[in-house]
Amino acid sequence: MHKGAYVWGLLAIAGVAAVSVFLYIGLPHAASVPAQDVGPPPVLTAGNQLDVALKRPPLAAEQEAALVALATSDAGSEARPDPMTMAHFGALPEEALSDAEQMQLKQQVDIATAAVAGLDTPAEAARMGYTQASRELSGIGSHWVNWTLIDKPFDPARPSMLLYATMGGVQKLVGYSYFTKADTEPAGFAGPNDMWHKHGSICLLNGWLVSEGEGKAACPGTWLYASRLWMMHAWVNPEFPNPWGLFGMMNPGVCPDGLECKDIKAASEASVPAHEHTQGL
């Protein structure tokens, strides 16, 4: 009697299991999702930058708040053309410095160079609040921005932008880009040779540069009038010295993978002194 009950119990359990499997197979359910890379998508050197921006994750709340604050702090809604007329290609003439200026500049550059070790990789930059904001360009690389630093006093060790370039399959820190808000040209490094410049109105989406020189109505994201924003490049990484000067607008030694860099190579070989800016940030 006990043996028969035992057998019937096993049959009942098996029947329930079979019905469960049948029901599971018959019901719609989500397919398994493979693990995905949650990092930023590959940087495009050409193409529609709006498409790139749409694929990127939103900025962190602190960074987004800082960007919005910049946008609201500068009035204007019409398209603001790029006012920059400085040369990008070639070495620009530098003025002689006094002994005091030379000493102060050396101290500032030493401070900036010492900070390179902690910002050498994009991963380190991300931990410090920087986010990639532009495609890669010949002679410059791509801009990584910490929007919370733009409205703070100049600090050689804390540039608000970092310049990375993918070379040999590895993204490398090639230099700094100081980006700050001021009514007049910032003091920056000691002496008159740090080449500050401005750009036109800027449209960003998810922190990514979509376009320049357009009006606010045409921008699908955050729009900066940018009349009070100043930028300056500083090639302080000893691994990438700039033959066109510490504060050169471009560095002929920086040619990201996938770019031919014909113009900058020709300018370097011929020592061409001038070319107007045409390449975005």
Letter string b/e over residues 216-253, b meaning 16 or more CB atoms within 10 A of that residue's CB:
beebebbbbbbebbbbbbbbbbeebebebbbbbbbbbb
Is 18 among the domain residues? no
Is 256 among the domain residues? yes
Q: What is the pLDDT of residues 96-128, one digit of tens each?
A: 999 999 999 999 999 999 999 999 999 999 999
> What is this structure's pTM?
0.80
Q: What is the pLDDT of residues 39-58, one digit of tens each?
A: 444 444 445 899 999 999 99
Is 72 a residue whose pLDDT tops 60? yes
Is 5 among the domain residues? no
| Tokens describing residue 217 | 């109505």
HSE, side-chain direction, 13 A CA sphere, residue 39: 7
Q: What is the overall mean pLDDT for the chain?
A: 82
For residues 193 and 94, what is the distance between their CA atoms, to the nearest angstrom?
A: 6
Q: What is the pLDDT of residues 127-169, one digit of tens each?
A: 999 999 999 999 999 999 999 999 999 999 999 999 999 999 9
What single DSSP character describes residue 129?
Answer: T
What's residue 263's pLDDT? 86
What's residue 75's pLDDT? 86
Is 53 among the domain residues? yes
Domain count, the chain: 1
Is 38 among the domain residues? no
Cα 280 to chain center, whole Å? 12
Is 69 among the domain residues? yes
What's residue 93's pLDDT? 85
Is 227 among the domain residues? yes
Is 25 among the domain residues? no
Q: Look at residues 8, 35, 57, 82 and name the one whose alpha carbon lies nearest to residue 206.
A: 57
What residue numbers bound the domain in which 246 lies? 49-270
